[in-house]
Amino acid sequence: MARPNRKKRPQGLGFPLPLAAAVVAVAALAVVYVCLHARTEGLGREIKELENRRDKLRQRLLKEQTAWAQMQSPASIECALRERGLVMTWPAAEQIVLVSARGVGRGLVARDRRSAAAAGYARVVMND
């Protein structure tokens, strides 16, 4: 029996290798795209939730600042004092002492408020 001719047999695979590599590369890119898309969608939702929370906190901050400013007004303080039956008066100029952040005992009597504020002094009321 005669041996078959090796040159007439097909060499290699029945599917072209460059085409197989291209199909695998496209499939890998598709998987990467789907993963990245899912991740960006999740991050987008998280950012939206955080922005909504930030907006709510800003609204709450403005509300609290407004309430605090109203409570600090002189009329509101006087009303609260009357409600509680406290008799208080505003301090006289000689009762106000300016205290620096550098130390205690260096207080100055409030004569010129502008220069004292520029020097970094805070106003403290001295009681009798």
30 lies in a domain? yes
11 lies in a domain? no
Start-end of H helices in 2-123 = 17-72, 74-84, 113-118
The identity of residue 9, as a single letter, is R
Specify whether 82 is located in the same domain as 20.
yes
Domains in the chain, number: 2
Specify whether 126 is located in the same domain as 71.
no
User: Once rounded to an integer, what is the mean pLDDT over residues 31-35?
Assistant: 98
Specify whether 103 is located in the same domain as 71.
no
According to the model, what pLDDT value does residue 127 have?
A: 58
23 lies in a domain? yes
Q: Which pLDDT tens digit goes with each residue over 56-108?
A: 999 999 999 999 999 999 899 889 999 999 988 878 888 888 877 765 554 45
The CA dihedral of 112, 114, 119, 121, to the nearest 10 degrees, is 70
Specify whether 74 is located in the same domain as 112.
no
35 lies in a domain? yes
Percent of the chain scoring above 90 in pLDDT: 47
29 lies in a domain? yes
20 lies in a domain? yes
Q: Three-state SS for 64?
A: helix
Between these two residues, 41 and 88, which has the higher pLDDT value?
41
Query: Residue 122 and residue 101: Cα distance in Å, rounded?
Result: 8
- Please tell me the least confidently modeled range out of 28-37, 41-50, 97-106: 97-106
Find the domain containing 21 and state its range: 16-87
93 lies in a domain? yes
